[in-house]
Amino acid sequence: MKASLIIIGILCSIAGLAQPYELAAPLLRYQSIFIENETKVSMAFDMQGASIRYTLNGDEPNEKSNKYRSPIVLHQHKTVVKAKAFAKGYKPSATVTQTFYPTGYRISSITTSMPNEKYNGLPQLLTDNLSGGSNHSNGSWLGYNSDSVVVEVSLSSPQQLSTVMLHVLFNQPAWIFTPEKIRIYNQQQQCIAEKTFAVEQQKTAVAEGIEVALPTALQQQLRIVIYPLQQLPEWHDGKGQKAWFFIDEIKLY
């Protein structure tokens, strides 16, 4: 009798420790993260009885969020899409996040500092409306390991500019970090904006936009000076060494 009770107790303990499986993350499909007029975002998760819930404002999806039924049409404004899979008896999936950006004003000409020879490319890579994803070796990124990077951009006519957005890569295991600082100069070589960036630990590789606000004014030409991180932090395996900086797009708003 005692043995039976012990066995039952063990089985109950094991059952109590058992955890439901976590669902895989849903897939997002789209043509580009840079929206010229509009773009469609479709979502997929192949499991009967499961549903995808999503938000378009950056909030974390829950079981009461919008249910995905058909492709979502996004228009010319910055949108943070988050999606998550749910199913009865399972833990919700990890959240998939993708930010979409308007293409902004058309840049008529662009010049850049010479990238490192391993990650070289034409300056026009920065205006082709194509994201390089998270793979820095796929030929879509310009990579720098220098003290500074200078990018000069021109518009065909003066426009009221308020923001410069740089789409950059974070991949700290590969020594790729946010720049220390960005300065922006107008056509008269006056510094009109400066922004510094804090170093934060981030284990996964991710591409995202960093923005520098400008005093709203008519501008036709800008000189953007980017200062990569000169010393990797103490917690990094390459501490004290120079960081890499990777960029694949520049947008003006």
CATH code of residue 41: 2.60.40.10
Residue 99 burial (CB count, 10 A): 15
Question: Residue 227 has what pLDDT?
Answer: 98
Same domain, 59 and 131: no
Q: Containing H/E element for 206?
A: strand 206-227
- CA dist., res. 39 & res. 30, Å (int): 7
**Is 6 part of any domain?**
no
Q: How many CB atoms lie within 10 A of CB 129?
A: 15
Low-confidence residues of the chain, pLDDT below 50? 1-16
Rounded distance, CA 81 to CA 57, Å?
7
**Within-domain flag for 13:** no
**Cα–Cα dist 143/181, whole Å:** 17
Residue type, 250: I
Full domain range(s) for residue 111: 107-252
Q: How many domains does the chain have?
A: 2
Q: Are residues 128 and 144 in the same domain?
A: yes
Shared-domain flag, residues 28 and 136 = no
Residue 60 maps to a domain? yes
Residue 4, in any domain of the structure: no
pTM over 0.85, yes/no: yes
117 and 49, same domain (yes or no): no
Residue 10 inside a domain? The answer is no
Residue 35 and residue 88 share a domain: yes
In this prediction, residue 140 carries a pLDDT of 94
pLDDT given at position 9: 43
Q: Examine residue 142 and state whether it is found in any structural domain, yes or no.
A: yes
* 2 located within any domain: no
pLDDT at 89: 95
Which tokens in the block code for residue 229?
Answer: 């991180």
pLDDT at 10: 40
Question: Do residue 127 and residue 82 come from a single domain?
Answer: no
Helix (H, G, I), strand (E, B) or coil at 13: helix
